[in-house]
Amino acid sequence: MSFDLQSLLTGDLKSIIEAVGYMGVFLMVFAESGMLLGFFLPGDSLLFTAGFLASTGIFDITFLTIGCFVAAVAGDTGGYYIGRKFGKRLYARENSKLFKKEHLVQAQKFYEKHGGKTIILARFVPVIRAFAPVVAGMADMKYSTFISYNIIGGLLWAIGLTLTGYFLGSLIPNVDKYLLPIIGAIVLVSIVPGLIHIIKEKKKTS
């Protein structure tokens, strides 16, 4: 199974999450939170769907939210230290299937615009969230400052989206009938910031 848009919209994500269980969800959250390899993972829809599945009894919501929060904070922390130790070398690295230099450049521009708030805001911007902690480490942001933003971002993203899926699943009768459209909407909303950024950059260069 692949974690692409088609998989999300055909309902595969639900079965993927059921199959991988807690550890699979936590590992995906960890990977997408700053480890450079997670930019292709369905972060927002992953958390929402996991929360929804918790409302049906497949997961324990308390354990799920705590685990996702810890994984998100740990992932960003790992990315931060990658940036501190290896960040400068990444610009000399050749592009590959798992690494695109332009993603790093985009994250750096985002950081230059928003400063420390990037660590919070980037949580909700696909691709950027996987590179933002690395850029913070490269920029020598103080770890005490970084961890504060990291914790706030982890609370809003990992716990916020998971609880949203859980409460919608608990409150709306037969919400599973609407799961695919909801996931599709989340995917589209996740894509919008990137599209806006691309449009703005094209206007600047035109």
State residue 5's pLDDT score.
42
Of 114 and 194, which is predicted with more confidence?
Answer: 114
Q: State yes or no: pLDDT of 2 exceeds 50.
A: no
Q: Read off the pLDDT of residues 67-80 as tens digits, 9 standing for 90 and up.
A: 999 999 999 999 99
* Rounded distance between C-alpha atoms, residue 16 and residue 155, angstroms: 24
Q: Read off the pLDDT of residues 127-166 as tens digits, 9 standing for 90 and up.
A: 778 888 888 888 888 999 999 999 999 999 999 999 988 9
Is the distance from CB of 34 to CB of 81 less than 8 angstroms? no
User: What does 115-137 look like in DSSP terms, one character per residue?
Assistant: GGGHHHHGGGSTTHHHHHHHHHH
Burial of 144 (0-12, 13-18, 19+ CB in 10 A): exposed
- The total number of structural domains in the chain stands at 1
Is the distance from CB of 146 to CB of 81 less than 8 angstroms? no
Q: Read off the pLDDT of residues 35-87 as tens digits, 9 standing for 90 and up.
A: 766 555 667 888 988 998 898 889 999 999 999 999 999 999 999 998 888 87
Largest CA distance in the chain: 53
User: For residue 138, what are the contacts with CB-CB under 8 A and spacing of at least 6?
Assistant: 83, 84, 87, 88, 108
Give the residue ranges of DSSP H helices in 40-178: 43-55, 61-90, 101-114, 118-121, 128-138, 143-154, 160-171
- Phi, psi angle pair for 57, to nearest 5°: 95, 0
| Percentage, residues of the chain above pLDDT 90 | 26
If you average pLDDT over residues 5-19, what whole number do you get?
A: 63
Return the closest-CA partner of residue 5 out of 118, 126, 100: 126
State residue 116's pLDDT score.
81
* Rounded distance between C-alpha atoms, residue 70 and residue 75, angstroms: 8
Is the distance from CB of 47 to CB of 24 less than 8 angstroms? no
State residue 9's pLDDT score.
39
Average predicted confidence (pLDDT) for the chain: 78
Q: Read off the pLDDT of residues 160-191 as tens digits, 9 standing for 90 and up.
A: 999 988 988 888 766 566 666 666 666 565 55
State residue 44's pLDDT score.
81
Is the distance from CB of 168 to CB of 56 less than 8 angstroms? no
State residue 95's pLDDT score.
63
Q: Read off the pLDDT of residues 97-128 as tens digits, 9 standing for 90 and up.
A: 556 667 677 777 777 777 788 888 888 877 77
The torsion defined by the Cα of 100, 82, 73 and 17, in degrees rounded to 10, comes to 40
What's the domain range around 193?
Answer: 5-205
